[in-house]
A = this chain, B = another copy of it.
Amino acid sequence: MRDGITMQATETRQKRGADWLAGAGLRPTRQRVALAALLIGDGKDRHVTAESLYAASCDSGEKVSLATVYNTLRAFCEAGLMREITVDGSKSYFDTNTSNHPHFFWEDDAHLTDAPAEELKIAQLPQAPEGAEIAKVDVVIRLRPARG
């Protein structure tokens, strides 16, 4: 073990992943535990696409098919463990932080990060039209490299 703080034993990360699954009543299969470990193993929030998570799992040496990555991300969302974020028409992003919060979308390399929720203050929101109610408000702050 080269680094006691940042490099956790794989077993620890997998334990956390398994617990996370158990909390949602999901069957802890080898591939789900592996993906869960990659997603929340170090306790940090993460934003992934199916492709990026698939790449990460390949890198980590775990063998999980791309179809399973897709199915698993869907299952995690349905179980309330993750949230799907819509920012770019072409692909779907998934966030391990399920609280309601704004996002930064970096237009130059199309990646997503959390924006500090406490810095966003909405003083007034348009009211929902008759017969409808607000399900969710999505705020995406698109960023580009600063000029100069």
Contacts and interface: CB of A to CB of B under 8 A. Distances in A.
A97 to B, nearest CB: 15
B119 A141 contact: no
Interface stretch (A1-9, A21-29, A131-139): A131-139
Per DSSP, chain A at the interface is strand
Nearest to A127: B119
Interface string A126-148: 11110111111111111111110
Contacts of A128: 104, 141, 143, 146
Contacts of A106: 132
B131 A145 contact: yes
Copies in the complex: 2
A62 interface: no
A10 interface: no
B135 A138 contact: no
> How many A residues are at the interface, by size bracket?
35 or more
A137 to B, nearest CB: 5
Q: Which 8 A-B pairs have the closest CB atoms?
A: A119-B126, A121-B123, A121-B124, A132-B143, A123-B123, A115-B126, A135-B144, A135-B142
26 contacts: A86-B89, A86-B140, A89-B89, A89-B91, A104-B132, A116-B126, A119-B125, A120-B124, A120-B126, A122-B122, A126-B141, A128-B141, A128-B143, A132-B143, A132-B144, A133-B147, A134-B143, A135-B142, A135-B143, A135-B144, A136-B141, A136-B142, A137-B139, A138-B138, A138-B139, A140-B140
